[in-house]
Amino acid sequence: STGAVKMQPKAEELKFVTKNDGYVHIHPSSVNYQTRHFESPYLVYHEKIKTSRVFIRDCSMVSVYPLVLLGGGQVHMQLLRGDFVISLDDGWIRFVAASHQVAELVKELRSELDQLLQDKIRNPSMDLCMCPRGSRIIGMIVKLVTTQ
């Protein structure tokens, strides 16, 4: 048989985009440098350096739900051309939700988690696993993240 086979990009060709720096590359000393395919297009990183170009190190792939639930900034939802879009970081990161109900549930879960963490900060001795509200919220997040 003949035909073209899609090839994964070479490590040096793989690039990501940051809000402030544009394109960045995974540093050759990074454990993930030879990884040529990530299930999710989102990475979190610890260090960013600029030499011949901008590189990130100490990076890990992160999927959509952990990013929405644990990422910084406010979560917003809007209807765009018939799709329900969840956005973070003033709209720089956007996801299309499967339905309005899914978008609302994710937004509400994030709000509940934020409130739970504020309660924990105000009362450090509070046991989140023993608190009925806390254990339900944490259980939902664990289920969502592990089954996505």
Of the CA atoms within 13 Å of residue 29, those in its CB half-sphere come to 7
Each domain of the chain, given as residue ranges in start order, spans: 11-62, 65-146
Helix 100-122 and helix 132-147: axis angle, to 10°?
130
Closest CA to 97 of 109, 80, 112, 114: 80
Give dist(CA 56, CA 25) in Å, integer: 6
Residues 94-138 have pLDDT tens digits of 888 888 888 888 889 999 999 999 999 999 999 998 999 999 999
**33-90 residue pLDDT tens:** 888 888 888 899 999 999 999 999 999 999 888 889 988 788 888 888 888 999 888 8
Measured CA distances, 50 to 20, 58, 111, 126 (Å): 13, 15, 36, 43
Is a pLDDT exceeding 70 seen at residue 5? no
